[in-house]
């Protein structure tokens, strides 16, 4: 984690809005209490004991690494089968997408929609939004900071719903254990898929939305 | 300047003066609109009651079978933990651990941790290591996914309805109620009541 860095935004008193960082203050990530920045060593929140950082440490680097890892895992998660189903003697392997197709074909379009949105759209959307935010921060963009902050908030909220398919597979492998009559085994695809969900949640968590606003203040 | 009279927006860092809120009111950041803090009427009592009921339902939901399935006269009963065991047995320990953590352990830790922190607070006391325990349960919050688990169960029921007869068990009903209790707990809870009590100035 390293030591607390001094808030590295222009000195107090200059033009621009009064942010905690500009006034030499650090808000605790855990409990929100403000502390004055002090040089030398790691700082702890006097109220809750959490480690203090003006900004999440190495936020851009970590988020990029996790976004790239998520992209890498997204491919096998969608190509490899997530379930192997045996029903009345015949076996069939399904990927996430072929499962969606099966539901559409059998008329349960609402289930097809839930799985499609939760398993395919949401992870892809999260990866795209985070990559977009990271690029915009790097380019010191001043384009609609409020909307970008809201986009970040959305990625924080929707990520958990991708886990639905993992739970569906969990229930299926538990219930269908009747040998040649009816049996479901998990495929390796689900492991990669679970990894995508976890990695994108960590990626969203390591991005610091205050960077969006810092970049603008440095510009002005 | 008294630092606890101010708050920095967690999303854009703008410094703002804390204002007393009307009952059930909320304060949002003047610059980016992020929710800063809110007032909850009777938060301590309501959260505590909901969390304790949640724990009871949690135990029921995990002790009884939640679905049984019937194909051509053969019956299979399932508990919440059965699928996790299958993952471990079939050489997918990471999947087992992921479902165990997000579906069972983290939600339970959150409910028990909340009770551990809030019950003594009700009697004007602090439990051992309140700050550390509270920090832990706040950081685990995004990882407790009972409501997503329930959606997964419902999707599987629809999926299986075509090939077998499905009988919902007691645990499924308990789980349904549990979801509402967990949601109501987080709606009733105002974390500021714990942090304020821990303030060194007081």
Percent of chain A with pLDDT over 90: 71
* Average confidence (pLDDT) over B34-38: 94
CB contact at 8 A, A170 and B150: no
Name the pLDDT band for B181 (thresholds 50, 70, 90): very high
Closest-CA distance, B49 to chain A, in angstroms, reads 24
pLDDT for residue B34 is more than 90: yes
Where are any strands of DSSP class E within A74-210?
Answer: 83-87, 90-94, 182-186
Closest CA to B68 of A178, A50, A210, A31: A178
Q: Which of A98-107, B180-189, B190-199 reaches the highest mean pLDDT? A: B180-189
Which secondary-structure segment (H or E) carries B74?
Answer: strand B74-78
The chain B residue lying nearest A36, using CA atoms, is B3
Model confidence pLDDT, tens digit, residues A131-141 = 999 999 999 88
The chain A residue lying nearest B200, using CA atoms, is A47
* Average confidence (pLDDT) over B21-26: 92
Name the pLDDT band for A176 (thresholds 50, 70, 90): confident
Q: What is the predicted pLDDT for the residue at B201?
A: 53
* B13:A153 CB<8 A: no
The 8-class DSSP code of residue A186 comes to: E
* Average confidence (pLDDT) over B186-199: 92
Contact residues, chain A, for B34 at CB < 8 Å: 149, 153
* B95:A191 CB<8 A: yes
* Average confidence (pLDDT) over A41-64: 92
pLDDT for residue A11 is more than 70: no
Cα A159 from chain centroid (whole Å): 6
Average pLDDT, chain B: 92
Contact residues, chain B, for A213 at CB < 8 Å: 12-14, 31-32
- Rounded-to-10 torsion of CA B146, B149, B150, B152: 170
* A149:B11 CB<8 A: yes
Option in A170, A172, A205 nearest B84 (CB): A170
Exposed, middle or buried, B1 (CB in 10 Å: 0-12/13-18/19+)?
exposed
Name the pLDDT band for A219 (thresholds 50, 70, 90): low
Name the pLDDT band for A102 (thresholds 50, 70, 90): confident
For the entire predicted model, the pTM comes to: 0.91
* A177:B86 CB<8 A: yes
pLDDT for residue A8 is more than 70: no
Domains, chain A, ordered by start: 1-54 (no CATH), 58-219 (1.20.140)
Name the pLDDT band for B69 (thresholds 50, 70, 90): confident
B180 inside 8 A of chain A by CB: no
pLDDT for residue A130 is more than 50: yes
Q: What is the predicted pLDDT for the residue at A5?
A: 54
Residue B42 CB neighbours (<10 A): 11
Contact residues, chain A, for B70 at CB < 8 Å: none
Name the pLDDT band for B199 (thresholds 50, 70, 90): confident
Q: How many CB pairs under 8 A join A and B?
A: 194
Closest-CA distance, A176 to chain B, in angstroms, reads 8
Closest-CA distance, A165 to chain B, in angstroms, reads 7
Cβ neighbours of residue A14 closer than 8 Å, sequence gap 6 or more: A22
């Amino acid at each position: 984690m390293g030591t607390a860095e001094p808030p590295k935004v222009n000195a107090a008193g200059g033009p621009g809005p009064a942010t905690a960082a500009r006034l030499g203050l650090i808000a605790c990530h855990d409990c929100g209490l403000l502390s004055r920045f002090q040089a030398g060593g790691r700082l702890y929140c006097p109220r809750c004991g959490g480690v203090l950082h003006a900004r999440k440490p190495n936020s851009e680097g970590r988020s990029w690494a996790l976004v790239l890892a998520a992209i890498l895992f997204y491919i096998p998660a969608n190509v490899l089968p997530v379930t192997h189903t045996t029903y009345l003697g015949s076996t069939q392997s399904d990927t996430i997408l072929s499962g969606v197709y099966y539901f559409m074909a059998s008329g349960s379009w609402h289930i097809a929609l839930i799985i499609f949105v939760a398993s395919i759209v949401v992870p892809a959307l999260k990866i795209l939004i985070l990559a977009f935010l990271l690029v915009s921060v790097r380019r010191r963009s001043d384009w609609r900071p409020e909307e970008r902050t809201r986009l970040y908030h959305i990625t924080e909220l929707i990520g958990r719903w991708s886990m639905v398919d993992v739970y569906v597979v969990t229930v299926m492998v538990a219930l269908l254990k009747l040998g040649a009559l009816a049996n479901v085994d998990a495929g390796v695809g689900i492991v990669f898929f679970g990894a995508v969900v976890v990695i994108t949640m960590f990626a969203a968590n390591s991005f610091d939305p205050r960077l969006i606003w810092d970049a603008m203040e440095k510009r002005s | 300047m008294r630092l606890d009279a101010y708050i920095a927006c967690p999303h854009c860092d703008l410094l703002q003066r804390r204002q007393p809120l009307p009952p059930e009111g909320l304060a949002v950041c003047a610059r980016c609109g992020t929710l800063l803090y809110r007032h909850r009427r009777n938060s301590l009592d309501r959260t505590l009651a909901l969390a304790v009921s949640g724990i009871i339902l949690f135990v029921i939901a995990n002790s009884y079978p939640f679905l049984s399935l019937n194909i051509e006269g053969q019956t299979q009963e399932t508990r919440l933990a059965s699928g996790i065991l299958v993952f471990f047995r079939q050489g997918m320990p990471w999947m087992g651990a992921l479902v165990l953590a997000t579906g069972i352990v983290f939600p339970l830790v959150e409910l028990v941790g909340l009770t551990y922190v809030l019950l003594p607070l009700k009697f004007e006391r602090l439990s051992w290591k309140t700050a550390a325990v509270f920090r832990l349960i706040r950081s685990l919050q995004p990882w407790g996914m009972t409501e997503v688990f329930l959606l997964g169960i419902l999707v599987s029921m629809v999926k299986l309805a075509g090939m077998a007869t499905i009988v919902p068990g007691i645990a499924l009903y308990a789980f349904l109620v549990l979801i509402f209790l967990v949601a109501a707990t987080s709606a009733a809870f105002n974390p500021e009541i714990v942090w304020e009590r821990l303030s060194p100035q007081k």
